Amino acid sequence: MLAAVAALAAGSGLACDAAYQGFLSSVPEPETDPAAVAHVYLGIDGMSRQAFDLARARGAFSGWDTADLVTPFPGTSDYSWTRTLRAGSLGGYELQYFDPVANQMHADGLSGTVDHLLREGIVGTLPAYQRFDFLGDGATWQARSYLDPLATLPGTLDELFDIVAGRARTRRDILVYVVVADIASHTEGIEPAVSVLVEIDRRIRVFKAAQRRRYEFTLFSDHGNAHLPSTLVDANDILKATGVTPVDTLGDGTEVTGGEQPSADPPRAVPVVHVRVSYVALHAEPRHVAEVAARTSRSPYVDLAVAPIDRATGWFGVWRQGERCAFQRQADGTIVVAEPARWGWLGADLGPFLSADGGQALLADRDALAATMGGGYPDIFYRVATAFTHPAARYPADVLLSMPDDVASIGFQIPGAGAIRANDGFHGSLSRRATLSVLATESGPLPPTVRSDDLADRFPALRGEGQ
């Protein structure tokens, strides 16, 4: 009954919103400077480098300048947009997070899943999404997008370009958002995602041809996508299979999932299982962190496990099949790679940066970026370190599991809802496919590679300035 009342209230509120925005849109807005160029920043959720390149091969975005966009780790939408747009912080990397101070999980289960949908625009919108002038077309935009992404796109773009034209009458910078590419990638694979991008390119050209004002578009995104059908696994099963006890809280009096108390002191961890992604955040007591990382990295469903070794000095560990590699990220961004010979799997050329005895490699921040861009884990040092230090997550994990491209954490499953069909490609991990998106612009030359964290410096409008 309570849920029905809440749904009715929310529905009524959204109906009010629709009527109110209809009222506002009926107010004519004067042109303040018809000759001025309007810059449109189009955030396309889940636009992978791979899909973009395929769209370009079909003639889309011809003449645009592009750069590899290195997105944050873990690559989840809420966290990545929050970080990219410098829009405050989340509790963790998603709406569901574990607060180690209160020793309590927040926004878990069904309520967290519902919250995830609501706060991406319907009610109580996260600050990052509030930054966009256009987010979605109506209260059912997400539901319609999941039911049929490609059928939803034309109507969404109608509304989007109408907002762009209206807002450009008085503003020089407009931020708009499209979710369909991400949903299409999850539910139907890369081909529909490419079609979405091709259609966006076509609509941009049609729009610009019909407008008297000159527009310059810039496309960016929040994460890539592996674009592979994925095995869905439960993080709790990974923990159990590797000898780590999944728990709901940490410390004395720990309540064990399943009601079983540990006999001695095996490593325990609290998994944060929210939506379907290719990473898992774990919280563990300090004495267990290294052991949890080492054990879980041996799972066939885990590619890498990463964790801080010493937060004070900036040392981090990357565990692969139980073996630890270590690096330090110093305050100025310099990367110190311990035992470079152990990092062969990285596919990075560390040779030019080796110390005389070969015991360390020392790379300036940009060198570390460049050295890793061609390998399987672009910008891994920066991405791993900042996953634990960036203020966009108030309670960063103690251990992060990065999954192979064909594996995803199944996330919370709605009781009785059956298997949700999305299993055609995910993001969140450290892998190349999940990491790389693209920055594409009509506004001028770009360097070959740009980090998402630097976008707001390059385009101040993304951090809410100049509007």
We find the least distance from the C-beta atom of residue 165 to other proteins, in angstroms, to be 5
The residue from 81, 129, 327, 377 that contacts other proteins (CB under 8 A) is: 129
Among the residue ranges 36-44, 202-210, 223-231, 295-303, the one whose residues contact other proteins (CB under 8 A): 202-210
Among the residue ranges 119-127, 332-340, 345-353, 356-364, the one whose residues contact other proteins (CB under 8 A): 119-127
Is residue 435 within 8 Å of 378, Cβ to Cβ? Answer: yes
Choose between 132 and 279: whose C-beta lies nearer to other proteins. Answer: 132
The verdict on 25 binding other proteins (CB under 8 A) reads yes
The residue from 121, 192, 246, 404 that contacts other proteins (CB under 8 A) is: 121
Choose between 28 and 253: whose C-beta lies nearer to other proteins. Answer: 28
Torsion of CA 360, 361, 363, 368, to 10 degrees: -120
Is residue 79 within 8 Å of 72, Cβ to Cβ? Answer: yes
Best CA proximity match to 111, nearest among 274, 282, 281, 279: 274
Phi first, then psi: give them for residue 62, nearest 5 degrees.
-65, 135
Best CA proximity match to 435, nearest among 368, 360, 380: 380
The verdict on 16 binding other proteins (CB under 8 A) reads yes
Choose between 13 and 59: whose C-beta lies nearer to other proteins. Answer: 13
Among the residue ranges 21-29, 49-57, 261-269, 291-299, the one whose residues contact other proteins (CB under 8 A): 21-29
The verdict on 320 binding other proteins (CB under 8 A) reads no
The verdict on 141 binding other proteins (CB under 8 A) reads yes
The verdict on 128 binding other proteins (CB under 8 A) reads no
Distance CA 327, CA 21 (A): 52
What's the token pair of residue 265? 């002191």
We find the least distance from the C-beta atom of residue 172 to other proteins, in angstroms, to be 12
Choose between 90 and 164: whose C-beta lies nearer to other proteins. Answer: 164
What's the token pair of residue 171? 């503003």
The verdict on 116 binding other proteins (CB under 8 A) reads no
Is residue 235 within 8 Å of 299, Cβ to Cβ? Answer: no
The verdict on 27 binding other proteins (CB under 8 A) reads yes
The residue from 79, 132, 220, 412 that contacts other proteins (CB under 8 A) is: 132
Among the residue ranges 26-34, 93-101, 361-369, 383-391, the one whose residues contact other proteins (CB under 8 A): 26-34
Distance CA 352, CA 159 (A): 52
CA atoms within 13 A on the CB side of 368: 24
Choose between 22 and 253: whose C-beta lies nearer to other proteins. Answer: 22
Among the residue ranges 188-196, 209-217, 273-281, 336-344, the one whose residues contact other proteins (CB under 8 A): 209-217
We find the least distance from the C-beta atom of residue 159 to other proteins, in angstroms, to be 5
Among the residue ranges 57-65, 83-91, 130-138, 308-316, the one whose residues contact other proteins (CB under 8 A): 130-138
The verdict on 20 binding other proteins (CB under 8 A) reads yes
Q: Is 452 left (phi over 0), alpha (psi -120 to 50) or beta?
A: alpha
The residue from 6, 7, 8, 15 that contacts other proteins (CB under 8 A) is: 15
Count, residues near other proteins per rule CB under 8 A:
54
Choose between 75 and 136: whose C-beta lies nearer to other proteins. Answer: 136
Best CA proximity match to 273, nearest among 169, 373, 445, 397: 397
3-state secondary structure 96-147: CEEECCCCEEECCHHHHHHHHHHHHHHCCCCHHHHCCCECCCCCCHHHHHHH
DSSP-assigned beta bridge partners for residue 65? 441
Distance CA 247, CA 283 (A): 10
Q: Which positions from 149 to 168 touch other proteins by CB under 8 A, shown as an x/- string?
A: ---------xx-xxxxxxx-
Choose between 23 and 261: whose C-beta lies nearer to other proteins. Answer: 23
We find the least distance from the C-beta atom of residue 81 to other proteins, in angstroms, to be 13
Is residue 374 within 8 Å of 347, Cβ to Cβ? Answer: yes
Q: Helix, strand or coil for residue 464?
A: coil
The residue from 111, 170, 330, 355 that contacts other proteins (CB under 8 A) is: 170
Cα distances (Å, whole numbers) of residue 53 to 67, 184, 185, 330: 11, 17, 15, 35
The per-residue DSSP string of 226-289 comes to --S--EEE-HHHHHHHTT-EEBSS-STTPPBTTSPPPSS---EEEEE--SSBSEEEEE--GGGH
Choose between 1 and 210: whose C-beta lies nearer to other proteins. Answer: 210
**Interacting residues with other proteins (CB under 8 A):** 13-32, 121-125, 129-130, 132-139, 141, 158-159, 161-167, 169-171, 206-207, 210-212, 467
